[in-house]
Structure formats: C-alpha cells, structure tokens
A and B are shown apart, each in its own frame.
Chain A
Amino acid sequence: MLRSRPPVAPPLVRLALAPLPLAPLQPLLALCLNAIVGRHPNLFDRLGAHAGKRIGLNPTDLPFSFVLVPRRARPAIRAVRRLPPDLDANISGPFAGLIGLIDGAYDGDALVFSRDLLVEGDMEAVLALRNAIDNAEIDFVGEAAASLGVLAGPAQVIVRALRRAHRSAPSSQRTTRRAWS
C-alpha cells in the first residue's frame, strides 16, 4: 500500500508558532544537521557541482522557512521568517511532505505532479539534492531527535504522532526469485 498525500498542519499550529523567536531554533537546527551529516558523511557527494548552492525549504503550513546550504564541509541550515529572493532554488510544501522526502516516506516527483510540492529555480540542484538524500536512507525523525539530547523524546513523540495516521506498515513478504536458463 502506498503512502497517501502528506498531511497539512492545522492553521492553529501556524498561529501558535508565529510569535516564537527563531534565535533559539538556529543552534538546534545546526545540531541536527551536523548529527545527520556525521552519520552520513557521504551524504552530499552526489551533489557534484551543485554542492554549496542555497536551497530554500518553505513549509507552507509553518510560519517560518529554512535555508539549506548542502556541502560536505560545513553544511549550513538556518530558519528565516521569509525566504530571501536570491536563493538558487525553493521547495515549498507541507512540513510533513518535506520531512517525508528526507526519510523516504514520499516520492518527490509524485508530490510535484500532484501539486503538493512546488519546486522553483535551479531544478538540477534540487534533483541532485533529492537523489543524494534519497540514497542516504536517513531516519530523519530518529536521527534529528537523537541529536537534541534531553529534547529527543518529546521531539520524536510530536513528529511521529503527526505522521502515524499516514504511515502504512510494510509487509514482510519475501519472494522466491526465478532462475535464468
């Protein structure tokens, strides 16, 4: 069974998060990114010439966005109220959809086809980033939450609860493969 469309956070979430300052978020984001890159040191190797480009990640159901600079040495991410206009590319969609691209829950092409996701700007850079991340098999929720120390438990509970209803259990089928003559 295939995953359904990504859920959109209720407007109340956006309202509740809007007044919060972004400053405390920045070191946590850096912590998460460094932890993930530490676990997957080859993560951005597939980017080739696209390493270091500035990619905007715009969760349309949250009151802030992110700017990601993917590169092997000193990758960076920061939260912003509004994406700057000079980015190489922007990816917009529900937060759960963006997270689902990272941990392999959703197919990025299908989300673009269905209009759940909008990609603007340097399409090559976004494709390369998508392929690099998809190959890394990142357990985003687990790995990011683990990097948050004492906040790991609550962070995992919140994100997994949001997505639980949309997750389908993989079957454990094995197959008998055919031999060639």
Chain B
Amino acid sequence: MELVCPAGTPAALRAAIGAGADAVYCGFSDETNARNFPGLNFSREEMGESIAYAHAEKAKVLVAINTFPRAGATAIWRRAVDDAVDLGADALIVADIGLLDYVARTHPHQRLHLSVQAAAANPDSIQFYVDNFAVRRVVLPRVLSVAEIAAINLDASCETEVFVFGGLCVMAEGRCSLSSYATGQSPNMHGVCSPASHVSYRQEGDALVSRLGDFTINRFAADEPAPYPTLCKGRFSTKSGSGYIFEDPASLDAAALLPALRDAGVTALKIEGRQRSRAYIEGVVRAFREALEALDSGRPIVTSGLARMTEGQTTTSGAYRKSWR
C-alpha cells in the first residue's frame, strides 16, 4: 500500500519524503485548500521547487485544491488548478463537482483524486465521479467500517485511499457549519476550521480555559490534555453532567488495522496533519513506514508512542471498528 503523507511547508515535505512517504499532499497558501492557516502552505515558487525535489527522490506530490469555490470567486480555484498542473503535480485532490468538471475539461490528462471532502461513501457515488470526471482515486470518508471499505473495493473501478492516522471530524465530510457558527469562517469555504484568530487559551487559577470566538470550549484540570478548541470536540454541560457530547478529542490510529485494510483492497494510506510540524510528520511517517515494512514481512506491527502526538493524547480506531453496532 502507498503511504500518502501531509506537508504544510517545503521543509515538512522534505521531512516526509526522508521518513518514507511515497507521496506527499500539500496546498497553496490560500483558501483553495482545507488547511488555510497563517504561515502555512506553499507559494507557487515553493510548490514548483518541492515537486522537483520530490520527483528527484522518486516521490509524488498531490496538490489539494479541496475546498468549495465561493460564488463570484471561482477564478481563485481555477487558477490554483492551472498552476498546479503547470508545476507538474502528480495528482490534484478536488472535492467540488464544478471544479472537477473544470479539471476534466481543461486538463483531461491530469490525474484526479476525489477529496474526502466530497464524501463519496458508496460504489454508485464513486462511479459517478469516475464516469463523469475520470477520477482515478477516491479518498474515503472516515465514516466507513473496514467491511464497508471492502465492499466498496469490490465494486469500485478506481483506487481507494483511507486515513490511518490523525485528527477526526464528526461532520458529514465537506459540510460542517460549526466553525462558521462560532467564527464566521468554515473549513469548506475558507479552508480553516476554528481559525487561530478566534482561538484563545487562558490560565484561570488551576484551570486552563480554551475558547473559540465567544464560546468557552473546554476547561481543563491541571493533569488533563488540552486539545485544540473546536466546537465538535468541546465539553458541554447538560442536565446529566458534563462531557464530550459530539466527539471525544481522540485521534485516529489504524496501524493495527493495516492487515485488514490491505485485505480490503485499499490502495493508499493517508496520514492527516498538514498543519503540524516537521517533528510530527517525521515521527508519524517513519512509524507508519516501519509498520508497512513489518506488514510486508509478516512481523508484528508496533507504533508505540504515537498517542503523545495526538490531540487528546489518546487514539481510536474510529469507524473502522463500529463496536457500537
């Protein structure tokens, strides 16, 4: 299986490749991708240099243009597509039907991957994208069990890519309004969930309080991990007590499921975290490269220590094992 790794800077891209990435996904420094954070991402010049570097190392670069173009501003997204093609991107990761259509018509030979943001979660939906836009790979939403992924692979006429590590969302992928409600900016249109401009941490006595806009998201005791304040992973007070109503701040770690994902016919494994540092990328990518080597040689898979890199300092196998069913 191919290892697809994140990079938010050229240095992170080099770190990912050095640690064993087969492919690196990244985006331009604007709202055309879903990690539009300050100081992050690639200028056109940096993207060109990074693609050249990756190709020299026999790695691929997938350019994420996976937010949804705003009415009246579609030229920004189309320009990103044209530039990524001109710079030699190995594939574009796109979610919006209109933009997929633009790529298919304007750059018919450009390899297209369907972003997780498109939320294509069954064979008929996937086939629609294959038939109409010649999509070669679909990144599956993080709501499917391994058995469902296997069923999709039996029918799908394109490759599938699944997340194996990193942050999780409860949203129907591609459509979340929680961040917009709290801050006016959305992950889908502006490329940023819970923008840093609206985030604050404040020490109040022994407690650390995290806020997003006007909302208190969490209050942590001294010995508790402090995840990033998103509404979906906030701690809510209700009549029956306080707790994580929508989602625990646990991150995905599917290393133990690599044999099952391989048997399910998955082509590529994706690590989340373009907003993270070189240290995260180097450490997580190396751990999964070693896990894949262990898988190939029949050795036990061990990725201890990765929980320390995660939001809630704890991990889950997410929907891959739907133990609640």
Contact = CB atoms under 8 A, between A and B. Distances in A.
Interface of A: 1-5, 46-48, 50, 100-101, 104-110, 112-115, 118-121, 123-132, 134-137, 170-171, 173-175, 177-178, 180
Interface stretch (B72-80, B138-146, B198-206): B198-206
B20 A50 contact: no
A1 B199 CA distance: 31
A134 B225 CA distance: 23
Interface string B50-69: 00000000111000000000
Contacts of B2: 178
A107 B197 contact: no
Interface residues of B, number: 54
B39 A132 contact: yes
Given A2-B309, A178-B22, 20 more contacts: A1-B305, A48-B39, A104-B15, A104-B282, A110-B310, A115-B220, A115-B224, A118-B201, A118-B203, A118-B208, A119-B201, A124-B196, A125-B38, A126-B196, A131-B8, A131-B9, A131-B38, A134-B277, A137-B278, A175-B22
Interface stretch (B147-155, B239-247, B283-291): B283-291
Contacts of B276: 107, 109
B289 A175 contact: yes
A47 B286 CA distance: 29
B280 interface: yes
Contact of B308 (A101, A114, A174): A114
Contact of A124 (B58, B197, B275, B280): B197
Given A110-B308, A131-B40, A120 B200 contact: yes
Interface string B192-231: 0001110111110000100000000000101011111000
A171 to B, nearest CB: 7
A177 B59 contact: yes
Given A113-B311, A115-B226, A108 B287 contact: no
A106 B275 CA distance: 14
Interface string B4-43: 0000111110010000101000000000000001111000
B280 A127 contact: no
Contacts of A132: 39
Which 5 A/B pairs are nearest by Cβ-Cβ distance?
A131-B39, A128-B39, A135-B9, A128-B38, A107-B280
A129 B11 CA distance: 15
A79 B224 CA distance: 31
Given A130-B39, A177-B22, A109 B277 contact: yes
B277 A127 contact: no
7 contacts: A1-B305, A2-B308, A107-B283, A114-B225, A131-B39, A177-B59, A178-B2
